[in-house]
Amino acid sequence: MIQLTPHMRILVAVEPADFRKGIDGLAKVCREQLRQDPFRGILFVFRNRRATSIKALLYDGQGFWMCQKRLSKGRFGGWPQSSSSATQALEAHQMGVLLAGGNPAAAKGIEPWRRLEGPLLK
């Protein structure tokens, strides 16, 4: 089971991927198209051309996990867009919204790392 944590680095591929590819094919996409090392523990997320299915790829230190979600109806409409980069970074709570078929850009949360202030810290 893959657990989404606030410490996890999540990268979403902006362009659709060929879903005939398995673990090795998507790891190659990570290296060559996304310019990222698939062995660094980053959760990579891909979608198909019709935006009805997503695949996630993760290396956990011992091997690769790959999982897929296909929607019964509808599409992943809030897919991140970027004109300058092949990937878009997401926070864990945004990934949860994306997996539920929502728009991760609309998921507002507090900053994951912030300086704590108050009477107890002085």
pLDDT in tens, 73-92: 999 888 888 778 899 999 99
Contact of 74 with 56, CB cutoff 8 Å: no
Count how many domains the chain has: 1
Q: Is residue 35 part of a domain?
A: yes
Per-residue pLDDT band for 52 (boundaries 50, 70, 90) equals very high
Residue 113 exposure: Cα atoms within 13 Å on the Cβ side: 2
pLDDT confidence band for 10 (50 / 70 / 90): very high
> Cα–Cα distance between 43 and 4 in angstroms, integer?
9
* Average of per-residue pLDDT values in the chain: 89
pLDDT at 1: 57
Domain of residue 95 covers 10-106
- Sign of the CA dihedral running 101, 81, 108, 8: positive
pLDDT of residue 112: 62
pLDDT of residue 122: 55
Contacts by 82-85 with C-beta closer than 8 Å and gap 24+? 82/14, 85/14
Asked if residue 24 belongs to a domain, the reply is yes
Rounded Cα gap, residues 119 and 105, in angstroms: 34
What was the pLDDT predicted at 53? 96
The answer to whether residue 121 is domain-embedded is no
Give 121's Cβ-side CA count (13 Å radius). Answer: 4
* Residue 43 predicted with pLDDT over 90: yes
Is residue 6 pLDDT above 90, yes or no?
A: no
28 occurs within a structural domain: yes
* Residues 6+ away with beta carbon under 8 Å from 66: 22, 23, 26, 55, 56, 57, 58
